[in-house]
A and B are shown apart, each in its own frame.
Chain A
Amino acid sequence: MQIPVEGFMYPNEVELQWSVLIVLYPFLTGLVAGAFILASLERVFRVEAVKPTYRLALLTALAFLIVAPLPLQLHLGHPERSFEMYLTPHASSAMAMFGFVYLWYLLAVLVLEIWLDYRHDIVVLSQTTTGWRRLLYRMLTLGSTNVSARSLAIDERVGWIVTVIGIPSAFLLHGYVGFIFGSIKANPWWSSPLMPVVFIFSAMVSGIATVMLLYMLLSRLRGEPIDMRCVDTVAKYLFYTFIIDFSLEMLDLIHRIYEADESFRSLDFMVHTKLYFPHIVVQILLGTVTPIVLLALTQVVKLSETLRKRIYVVAGTLTLVGIFAMRWNVVIGGQLFSKSFLGYTTYKMAFATREGLLTAIVLSILPFVFLWILVKLLPPWPERHAMPATAGD
């Protein structure tokens, strides 16, 4: 397949190394980190208004975290060797820490917190369900069936500590992904100390937006009224976080434009040509400025409940489109120009290949499948607490 090239590329640069799957990876981990931060609002910072989203946020984070390493595995030339990162990690490599950060976050933070929070429910379900469900819930209790008030108080206390540890861990999980890109001095599009910070805030934005949309969608599907106090608060945090995220990105942009180093001409040309649509139109105008304006409107103007709901849905959806475009522009954009700054290549996405569009679509749907299973097994709805006997039905 002939790849169109403009100007001069070093001969080995013509073919892009990191595909749409590597775009998906920071997008998925970002949702994990963001959803967890939202959950911690209620648990640690005692923002009671967002309580209806607490468990859903945790399950969403877990569903996305399970899928997060899959695009990486599929992308590797030798996925069967990936365990070598655990056996002989190279201490100087940012990527070598992936496995450890991932496992820490998955097992020491997320699974533990979910288990502690759901332990009472699991014990009740193990006693009220039958058949394979009973067996499953009994296994999930891990033999810990004491649901006395004192025991639950310990769960609560330990869960709080885990969440406190989880907040920096969530920052680590996604900040580290930003560092993977930001520490590549060979690539001026990536090389920036702001990259991990921008990644963290964009992660929070995407995670909050996802949980907000999921909460509204699931409430509607269940025929339950949407808790507007909750959604308004979530939207408020989304707005504030988005402002910080956008400011950081603009700071990076202004710094680059003002400094205008040797790479600037090349990057500027790219932003005005190949990246114009995904960067200027989709990421900045459609995916950032528009949702910020919409969310700002809900903060300063008194709008009806229906209108607010509609605005949140539109703003949340555009936010996710914008954050995905941001990941795309970082990963793909960073490979479109030559390190000689004298030319540009083209990304040709295949369809039904290991790293093609179809794989990316399947991997994007997969977290929702896992979430559906998790929601079925561990219902996050508060009313189910009151009716444990029907919880497993």
Chain B
Amino acid sequence: MTRRQLLILLPAAAVAWEHILAGTPEASPNYTMSEHWWGMLMDITKCIGCGSCVRACQLENHVPDGYYRTWVERYQVMDWTVETPHVDSPDGGKNGFPPPKEVGGKNFFVPKMCNQCADSPCTQVCPVGATFVTPDGVVLVDQKYCLGCRYCVQACPYGCRFINPATETANKCTLCYHRITKGLTTACCEVCPTGTRQLADLKNPKDPIHEFLKTHSVQVLKPHLATKSKCFYYGLDGSVR
């Protein structure tokens, strides 16, 4: 190779390197991505709507006010309103819930977050591949690559994405990837006082999720959209949207 060729190739290689690195999650020593396949179990019967998970998530991930990587919904279902329940989530349920305006019916809380879909519509539509699924099954956004086109926000059926006003890029639950790759659980699971949320490693044969899934009826949200959601709900009522 001549000096002239080298001088031409070097800047091109430098530009290309950025693109090769794009879509690579944060490195973590002693962690092998191929050995894990992450998901989440939500036991709705245990949720008390305290909002600790929302607060913990906001603190851990610097989520701006008015935006939510996770939130809690309160459902009030009368006998005749299964298809049109009354739902509220004041400030994402961050500070708990005021007493309901109407008494009666079936009342329960539903924590929501990114469903870490294996066939995620948000990943499909991203024009540059800034949103990607890691080999261990977590949907992440490369903040240095995202255009802020908002197509992924439109494509998410669960309303889990938002545009962070500080970075003008798409933002969502990372399943606390910076924590779980170090052997920790997520911030929301860590603080949940009732064990409603449980991080699940579907590739780990010793994970209690396997026993739970064998012995309980679980559902995913909006199964008709075939997103291969990995957020499993136990005790999910038919009225939940």
Q: Do B148 and A77 touch (CB < 8 A)?
A: yes
Q: Do B128 and A78 touch (CB < 8 A)?
A: no
How many angstroms from the CA of A76 to the CA of B73 in the assembled complex? 31
Choose one: B22, B88, B167, B225; the contact of A185 (CB below 8 Å): B225
Task: Report whether over half of chain A's contact residues are helix, strand or loop; otherwise say mixed.
Answer: loop
How many angstroms from the CA of A341 to the CA of B85 in the assembled complex? 11
Q: Do A17 and B154 touch (CB < 8 A)?
A: yes
Choose one: B86, B129, B154, B155; the contact of A90 (CB below 8 Å): B129
Choose one: B71, B112, B124, B159; the contact of A93 (CB below 8 Å): B124
* Binary contact readout B67-83 vs A (1 if CB under 8 angstroms, 0 otherwise): 11001010000000001
Report the interface size for chain A: residues with CB under 8 A from the other chain. 42
How many angstroms from the CA of A184 to the CA of B88 in the assembled complex? 26
* CB within 8 Å of B: which A64-101 residues: 72, 75-79, 81-82, 84-85, 87-90, 92-96, 98
Interface centre among A9, A10, A98 (most CB of B within 10 A): A10
Residues of B near A262 (CB, < 8 A) are 83
A300 at interface by CB-CB < 8 Å: no
Closest chain B CB from A194 CB (angstroms): 19
* CB within 8 Å of A: which B115-131 residues: 121, 123-129
Interface centre among A75, A84, A96 (most CB of B within 10 A): A84
B42 at interface by CB-CB < 8 Å: no
Closest chain A CB from B57 CB (angstroms): 12
Q: Do A12 and B121 touch (CB < 8 A)?
A: no
Q: Do A11 and B87 touch (CB < 8 A)?
A: no
B161 at interface by CB-CB < 8 Å: yes
How many angstroms from the CA of A180 to the CA of B19 in the assembled complex? 25
Residues of B near A9 (CB, < 8 A) are 159
Q: Do B225 and A18 touch (CB < 8 A)?
A: no
Choose one: B68, B155, B157; the contact of A11 (CB below 8 Å): B68
Residues of A near B159 (CB, < 8 A) are 9-13, 338-340
Q: Do A93 and B154 touch (CB < 8 A)?
A: no
Residues of B near A12 (CB, < 8 A) are 67-68, 153, 159-162
Q: Do B147 and A82 touch (CB < 8 A)?
A: yes
Q: Which single residue of chain A is at the shortest CB-CB distance from B123?
A: A92
How many angstroms from the CA of A145 to the CA of B126 in the assembled complex? 46
Q: Do A186 and B151 touch (CB < 8 A)?
A: no
Closest chain B CB from A237 CB (angstroms): 34
Known contacts A12-B68, A85-B128, A90-B129; decide if A187 and B154 are in contact (CB<8 Å): yes
Residues of A near B147 (CB, < 8 A) are 76-79, 81-82, 84-85
Residues of A near B179 (CB, < 8 A) are none
B31 at interface by CB-CB < 8 Å: no
Q: Do B146 and A77 touch (CB < 8 A)?
A: yes
How many angstroms from the CA of A84 to the CA of B150 in the assembled complex? 15
Residues of B near A342 (CB, < 8 A) are 84-85, 87, 241
* CB within 8 Å of A: which B131-163 residues: 145-151, 153-163
Choose one: A77, A79, A87, A338; the contact of B19 (CB below 8 Å): A87
Report the interface size for chain B: residues with CB under 8 A from the other chain. 47
Q: Do A96 and B127 touch (CB < 8 A)?
A: yes
Closest chain B CB from A147 CB (angstroms): 40
How many angstroms from the CA of A387 to the CA of B92 in the assembled complex? 72
Q: Do B127 and A89 touch (CB < 8 A)?
A: yes
How many angstroms from the CA of A338 to the CA of B156 in the assembled complex? 12
How many angstroms from the CA of A235 to the CA of B153 in the assembled complex? 41
A8 at interface by CB-CB < 8 Å: yes
How many angstroms from the CA of A77 to the CA of B127 in the assembled complex? 14
Residues of B near A184 (CB, < 8 A) are 121, 125, 154-155
Residues of A near B150 (CB, < 8 A) are 17-18, 75, 77
Q: Which single residue of chain A is at the shortest CB-CB distance from B90?
A: A11
Q: Which single residue of chain A is at the shortest CB-CB distance from B168?
A: A77
Q: Which single residue of chain B is at the shortest CB-CB distance from A96?
A: B127
Q: Do A98 and B168 touch (CB < 8 A)?
A: no
How many angstroms from the CA of A11 to the CA of B19 in the assembled complex? 34
Residues of A near B123 (CB, < 8 A) are 92
Residues of A near B162 (CB, < 8 A) are 12, 15
Closest chain A CB from B169 CB (angstroms): 6
Q: Do B145 and A84 touch (CB < 8 A)?
A: yes
How many angstroms from the CA of A249 to the CA of B148 in the assembled complex? 31
Choose one: A17, A77, A94, A186; the contact of B169 (CB below 8 Å): A77
Known contacts A11-B68, A18-B150; decide if A81 and B145 are in contact (CB<8 Å): yes
Residues of B within 8 A of A (CB): 19, 22, 67-68, 71, 73, 83-89, 91-92, 112, 121, 123-129, 145-151, 153-163, 167-169, 225, 241
Taking A72-B149, A92-B125, A335-B154 as given, write out 16 further A-B residue pairs in contact, using a Cβ cutoff of 8 Å, ordered by the A residue number. A11-B159, A17-B150, A81-B145, A84-B19, A88-B19, A88-B129, A89-B127, A90-B126, A90-B127, A92-B123, A93-B124, A186-B156, A338-B159, A339-B241, A341-B241, A342-B87
Residues of A within 8 A of B (CB): 8-13, 15, 17-18, 72, 75-79, 81-82, 84-85, 87-90, 92-96, 98, 180, 184-187, 262, 265, 335, 338-342
Can you spell out 10 A-B residue pairs with CB atoms less than 8 angstroms apart? A8-B73, A8-B88, A10-B158, A17-B163, A75-B150, A77-B150, A93-B126, A93-B151, A184-B155, A186-B121
